[in-house]
Amino acid sequence: MKVKLLYFASLREQLGTPGEELELPAGVGTVAALRSHLRGRGGAWELALADGKLVRAALNQDMAAPTAALKTGDEVAFFPPVTGG
Contact 58, 5 (CB under 8 A): no
The count of other CB atoms within 10 Å of the CB of residue 8 is 16
| Least gap, CB of 7 to another protein (angstroms) | 10
> Which of 50, 63, 65, 69 is in the footprint of another protein by CB under 8 A?
63
Contact 54, 85 (CB under 8 A): no
What is the rounded distance in angstroms from the CA atom of residue 2 to the CA atom of residue 74? 8
CB under 8 A: which stretch of 8-16, 24-32, 35-43, 45-53 binds another protein?
A: 8-16
> Which of 21, 23, 51, 62 is in the footprint of another protein by CB under 8 A?
62
Question: Using the rule CB under 8 A, is 58 a contact of another protein?
Answer: yes
